[in-house]
Amino acid sequence: MTEMPHILVVDDHPEIRKSVSSFLERNGMKTSSAENAADMDAKLARSQFDLIVLDIMMPGEDGLSACKRLSRESNTPILMLTALGDADDRISGLDSGADDYLAKPFNPRELVARINAILRRTQKLPQIEALAGKTVRFAHLELDYDGRNLKDADGRRTQLTYGELKLLSLLLERPRMVLSRDELLEMSTGRTAGPLDRTIDNQISRLRRKIEKDVLRPSIIATVRHGGYSLSCDVEVLS
C-alpha cells in the first residue's frame, strides 16, 4: 500500500475513539471516527475506507447488526471490538462478516498488528479474488460470488455472510485438498489459532447448515480426522 490506510473507528465512547485514532495515526494510518452506526453510515457515504474498527456494544443499532449489514453491502474489512468474554459471542462477530475480533481491554500494539495483518491479507488473496465476478458450480449448488448467493437444484437461494464466503472460497479453490484448521483460520482471518480455538469448527458447522442436504451426514465438506476439512466434490467455474 503506497498511501496511508484510511481507518474508520466506530465506538460510542469518545475517549476510546480518541485514543485509538491517535495511536493508529502515530503508526502511519489516517483515521476518521464515528460515534454510532448512523454516524458510520454518514462517513461511509462520503469517504472510502480501507478498514473499519467496529465496537459491538453501541446504543441504537449494535455492532453485530451493523457488521452483518455492511458485509452484504461492501467488501470493506471489519475488525470487531468486543468486551464480551464468551467465545460464542466472538464467533457471532465473525459469522456476521467481521474479518477479526479483539477483546477489550486490548494492547494498542496488538490492534495495530491485527489491522496490518488484515490489510496485508485483503490485498493478497488470489484464492478468493480469483472467483470475483464468477459463478461456481459444485455438488447441487451454484455460487454467485459477487452476490454472495447460493442457489440449489430447486432454485432456492441462500445468502452467505462475507465470512462464510471467504471460508467457502478457500475450499472451492482447493477441491479435495485437506486444509488444517490452522491453515483455514490464518488464510481467512490472518490470525493464528490458540490451543482451544474452535472458530473454524463453528464456522464450518454454520456453513454446512447452508450447503449440506443432511448436516448429520455431510457430503460436501468432509471432516478429516487429525487433518482438518476438505471439499469432497468437483468444482466448475461457469463464468
Nearest by Cα to 10 from 46, 75, 61:
61
The predicted structure's pLDDT at residue 157: 93
Give the count of beta carbons closer than 10 Å to the beta carbon of residue 125: 17
Contacts of 187 (CB under 8 A, 6+ apart): 121, 125, 127, 170, 179
Cβ neighbours around 59 below 10 Å, total: 9
Q: State the 10-residue block means of pLDDT for the chain, 239 residues long.
A: 82 95 95 96 92 93 90 82 68 75 89 88 54 91 92 92 84 93 80 68 89 92 92 91
- Give 94-107 pLDDT, tens digit per residue: 777 788 888 888 89
| Residue 19 pLDDT | 95
Nearest to 149 by CA among 135, 139, 138: 135
Domains and CATH numbers, the chain: 6-124 (3.40.50.2300), 128-237 (1.10.10.10)
Task: Quote the pLDDT of residue 168.
Answer: 93
- Say whether pTM exceeds 0.85: no
